[in-house]
Structure 1
């Protein structure tokens, strides 16, 4: 029997919050948190507790569900819940797993949960095949090189030369004095390979902590970090506490 999906629900209307959490529990889910605004979601996620999916209302005080999705400290499957169908396009632009219209029905929710379980099972299979779990992050140890594309083949680049990695244009790019296209197809794949040698800056950014030479407060809880070589990048609200803790500033 598969373990229950652990889900976080964020909804600012008490009636809708009670209804959705009841439907989720009746469908066999474990509701690990019931929150009422966007900042509370990001604060809860920075604690690092286990959760398989986020059910986010789009219209919430403080930060909308779309704002929260853009500032997640690491990738999570997100299901947006709202009364307004016109938000669907923006929801899927942010790679939402699904989109539920209020009032949510048990039948429609069942289809969403099946999609989430399929994704969760796929991640579990990958971890099993590699002999480890999500928590088994490799420790930094000695020189590390990674592959980047070069014509018909690849070359290996020292991580020590690299300041950060960015996912854009459907590829993971390394910045090592120049912009280099790596062989990784997703940022999650890069993060898995690099492990504790990098830290999340936002959903599309990994930073090598040793490359950070300065930081300052940005807007609305974000950080601005300056890297060796002069680049300045923005770190999301959700990722800022983890990065500061990694630098011994938490």
Structure 2
């Protein structure tokens, strides 16, 4: 059946069982979606996103090699709707703790999928423009057995390393956030930009840029620090810097 993909939901499907992958992709196309990628494991999803892949929603099998769907969701860009697909209902609680847009049990039926897609379309149409908070902002970092507070205005970037989020503000400080998605939620509207799945940048801190390979961008920060921005994130950062 031929579909008009104008305004269609763009979706990624990740599933390690080829038959289930093909079946779900077919059902999505039959309901008017544009399937932009069909992948078979968690690391491939994060790599696809890191390389600039864009979608309106991710359909993720929970049990996949390398990284589970839940682990992928914790590293995916904040605000990207995720639908978990699994044969096991016991994962539902954890899925909704990850703010899942929906939770589908296998075998997925066309009728149940239609309800999910209706919710995703309504969510896309109703999404408001985020308000930008005003005024200074401070956040806590660990200092010995206690905490100190750092000014966001003095922070250049945040990185995810060693299973923690680190703030770079004239030094490297361990924050209380466990993932960059948590950091993004706390800093929402503060103007930070994802450089790649392990990097958040404050554009006002950028002091220089130079082109990298394959559309990537090298960004210079105070203290003679350089970080690489992915091909997918480079256009957005250039726009924020007035270069596009």
TM-score normalized by the length of structure 2: 0.61
Whether the aligned pair in 2 keeps the contact of 1:144 and 1:158 (CA below 8 Å) is yes
Change (3 A) 1:22 1:113: farther
Q: Distance in 2 between matches of 1:181 and 1:205?
A: 14
Residue 34 of structure 1: aligned partner: 35
- Measure, in 1, the Cα distance between the counterparts of 2:32 and 2:99: 20
CA RMSD in angstroms comes to: 4.1
**Aligned twin of 2:87:** 111
**Distance of 2:136 and 2:98 partners within structure 1:** 32
For 2:59 and 2:158, the matched residues in 1 are separated by 23
Structure 1 residue 191 corresponds to structure 2 residue 188: no
- The 5 A counterparts of 1:126-205 are 137-197=130-190, 198-205=192-199
Unaligned runs of 5+ in 1: 1-5, 36-54, 81-87, 98-108, 126-132
CA contact (8 A) 2:52 2:232 kept: yes
Question: Which segments of 5 or more consecutive residues in structure 2 lack a partner in the other structure?
Answer: 1-8, 15-19, 74-84, 102-125
State the match for 2:232 in structure 1.
Answer: 238
TM-score, with structure 1 as normaliser: 0.60
> Alignment length, in residue pairs?
191
1:56 equivalent among 38, 47, 50: 38
SS at match of 2:87: helix
Give the secondary-structure state (helix, strand or coil) at the position aligned to 1:148: strand
Mapped to 2, the partners of 1:73 and 1:188 lie a distance apart of 18
Distance 1:218 1:201, change over 3 A: same
